[in-house]
Amino acid sequence: MKNAFDLLIDRLAKDYKMPELPVKQHEHEVYCFDFKEVSIKIYQDAFKWVYFLSDIGVVDTLDSHTCQRLLRLNEFNLSTPFFTVGLTEKNGGVVHTRIPFPHLDNVEMRRVVEALLNVSGEVKKPLGLSDSPV
């Protein structure tokens, strides 16, 4: 049975004219989308936080210069949503944020996804990330 979070995801897919999503398999389903050449995962935890994560490519050369650039990208700010840039164990670049579910509606969900797409594109170019699978 679909909950309020699942209905928000359905609406997001409809807004982007995506095909109907498959039937929910797990209580805490991870929804995966590809927008504008960016892979996005959206999921909700047991505490009603909604996580937005984008895979932005692979860091080919992880040197001190690249690490310094990553750290500068993560300077704290009060913008909402606040995005964090990080690396996976395989040097895959990720941009992520989380928002409490009560703060999300259809409009806010789309705004966060658009902001995630924009930030992901802005971060990917200067870091020289390759499109290799993560």
Residue 53 lies in a domain: yes
**pLDDT (tens digit per residue) in 99-113:** 999 999 999 999 999
CATH number, domain with residue 74: 3.30.1460.10
pTM: 0.86
User: Rounded to an integer, what is the distance from CA 113 to the centroid of its chain?
Assistant: 7
CB 52 within 8 A of CB 98: yes
Range of the domain at 37: 4-127
Residue 51 lies in a domain: yes
Q: In this predicted structure, what is the pLDDT of residue 134?
A: 47
**pLDDT (tens digit per residue) in 28-70:** 788 988 887 788 999 999 999 999 999 998 988 888 888 888 8
Residue 134 lies in a domain: no
Residue 107 lies in a domain: yes
**What's the structural domain count of the chain?**
1
Residue 58 lies in a domain: yes
Strand-pair partners of 66: none
Instruction: Tell which residue, 62, 119, 66, 112, has the closest CA to residue 95.
Output: 119
Q: In this predicted structure, what is the pLDDT of residue 53?
A: 96
Residue 132 lies in a domain: no
